[in-house]
Chain A
Amino acid sequence: MDMGRCGSTYGSEENPVNIYVEGLCKAFKKKSVLSDVHLSFSGVYGLLGPNGAGKTTLMKILAGLESFQSGIVYMDEQVISTKSYVKKIDAIGYLSQDFMVYPELTVYQVLEHIAVLQGKKVTETAEKIHDVLKKVNLQHQEKKKMKELSGGMRRRVGIAQLLLREPSVLLFDEPTAGLDIEERVRFRNLLKKLGKHHLVIISSHLVEDIEFLCNRIGIIKDGNVLFEGKPQELKEKANEQVYQLEIRPEELDDVIGKQEVIQMEDNGSRILVRFLSDEPIGEVVSPRLIDGYLTILKASYIHE
């Protein structure tokens, strides 16, 4: 089977594939970047973690762009890795956070060329390009030069070129980083839409994006998996640890000094403050995703 040519070999529109990573290790200059990583990617998967956690490395390994020392990667039941690389297959598409190609050429020219590089016949490209541009809502920008596009539009061109080869898996590294709020909302909605027909893996340090998009979450820090599960399970990690206080504005500095404040809501004369605490202070409230994430990170610092 020629896996490099058959993007549609894996999964289908109705049943997107799953990816399983077992015992993945990677070290760089004797420093461990990923250490015995076991993860099961399905649905729309959010990979959370602080900067330098190993998220981008893991994404690049899955895309076949970086090597690893040991471990196995499966797509459904099929092994898609060799001893040190995930095979470069069309079924997996990776979009880096700084995607930019051929700045002097138009969107259409870029997509046409990439389609030909992918092995498509020149005569078949036009229809396909219009189709993917419509999917990423760029149908009116095809004559614009790449360098004239905003960051969000550029990334949508990045998705369009991935969709040209009909991948089953889409990997997005920090997809909303550096986008203004309007672009961010538009981009998130597009990712949500793509998640209906593809396995989408998003790496981010923005909990808000993950909360909006993902039905499964993994947290890594310093190359170690700290958590994997559903958003609800992550929230439950902070049960009985999130408290809320209503304070006067002049008390705010004092509270910030004593507690790890996660969120504030200014109601004019009063401020509603949410914070993580091991001691019961104020009113206990139901945790949100960010609370669960912070609780797990906090626990990992304690173990260090």
Chain B
Amino acid sequence: MNKIKHHFQFDIRLLKGIYMLPFIGYLIALLLMVLSYPEGSYLPYIFLQGIAIPAAGLHLVFLYTPIYEEGATDTLLHYYRRNLVNDLLRYSLLHGVFILFLTGLLVLVKGVEFLDLIKVMHLFLLFLFYQVIGISILTIVKSLEITIAIYAIYTVTEVVTLGNFLPWPHLFLFEEPFYDIWLFLTFFFLVVGIILSIVQLIRALK
């Protein structure tokens, strides 16, 4: 317990104000979900997918950036490698609680029948995907700025254009899903993305 407390205290001390960014993301998602309530549209689910879940993956990106700062790699890589699983678990649990809360709100707004098995599985896979993809990109490009740029460009472009703009893998659901090839491809790309990210993490931090 002392160790978990230490890790969170250290993370806050290290990141200072930046530590609050994911929580600000949650707040924005929460406000938008509540404000989009009267329309009875798909928007609350889009805000949960497109703002809250991507925000949930940011902490680990920020926290693993010091590895790639000048003069730190040879020292920190050795230690971070050992703690990667713990860190993934810590932040998955922390953000899992917030996402569960927002999902609860979604159920409140849209009714319990809205959240069918497909959406539950989709949310779960999307959450896992965003927990590992950012840190995985970081281990490739070794730069916080480039990682955030890739992360943000993909997410913002997808959400703003509702997945209609660029011919790249689409990971979000912007309308009620049907059992068609597009739904299959969304799940396929999510699973492939998660697997490739984990492989990259193992490769980079071995």
Instruction: Write the residues of chain A forming the contact surface with B, with a CB cutoff of 8 angstroms.
Output: 60, 63, 65, 88, 94-96, 98-105, 109, 112-114, 116-119, 121-123, 158, 161
B80 contacts the other chain (CB 8 A): yes
Question: How many A-B residue pairs lie within 8 Å, measured between CB atoms?
Answer: 61
Listed residue (A113, A119, A123) with the most chain B CB atoms within 10 angstroms of its CB:
A113
Contact surface of B with A, Cβ cutoff 8 Å = 2-3, 5-7, 10, 13-14, 16, 66, 69-72, 74-83
> Quick check: B6 and A122 within 8 Å, CB to CB?
yes
B14 / chain A contacts, CB cutoff of 8 Å: 102, 104-105
Chain B residues near A116 (CB, 8 Å)?
3, 6-7, 10
Q: Which residue of A lies closest to B1 (CB)?
A: A122
Partner of A117, one of B2, B70, B83: B83
Residues on A with beta carbons closer than 8 Å to the beta carbon of B2: 121-123
Main secondary structure of the interface of B (DSSP, over half): helix
A109 to B71: give the CA distance in the assembly, Å. 18
Residues of B within 8 A of A117 (CB): 79-80, 82-83
**Cross-chain contact of B74 among A94, A103, A105 (Cβ < 8 A):** A94
Q: Which residues does chain B contribute within 8 Å of A122, judged by CB atoms?
A: 2-3, 5-6
Closest to A98 in B: B71
Q: Is the CB of A109 within 8 A of B10?
A: yes
Whether the Cβ atoms of A101 and B76 lie closer than 8 Å is yes
Q: Which residue of A lies closest to B72 (CB)?
A: A101
Q: Which chain A positions have C-beta within 8 A of B70?
A: 98, 100
Which A residues lie within 8 Å of B75 (CB)? Answer: 95-96, 99, 101, 114, 158, 161
Q: A105-B14, A113-B10 are in contact. Are A118 and B79 (CB under 8 A)?
A: yes
In the complex, what residues of B have CB within 8 A of residue A114's CB? 75, 79
Q: State in angstroms the CA–CA spacing of A88 and B81 once bound together.
A: 11
CA distance A118 to B6 in the complex (A): 13
Among A65, A100, A105, A117, chain B packs the most CB atoms within 10 A around the CB of: A117
Q: Which residue of B is nearest A99, CB measured?
A: B71
- A105 CB, nearest partner CB in chain B, Å: 7
Task: Note all chain A residues with C-beta closer than 8 A to B72.
Answer: 99-102
Minimum distance in angstroms from B52 CB to a CB of chain A: 29
From B77, B79, B83, name the one whose CB has the most chain A CB atoms within 10 angstroms. B79
- Complex contacts, A121 vs chain B, CB 8 Å: 2-3
Cβ B13 vs Cβ A105 within 8 A? yes
> Roughly how many angstroms separate A114 CA and B66 CA in the complex, as a whole number?
13
Residues of A near B6 (CB, < 8 A) are: 112-113, 116, 122
B-chain residues with CB within 8 Å of residue A112 when the two chains form the complex: 6
**What's the nearest-Cβ distance from chain A to residue B77, in Å?**
8
Is the pair B83, A109 in contact by a Cβ cutoff of 8 Å? no
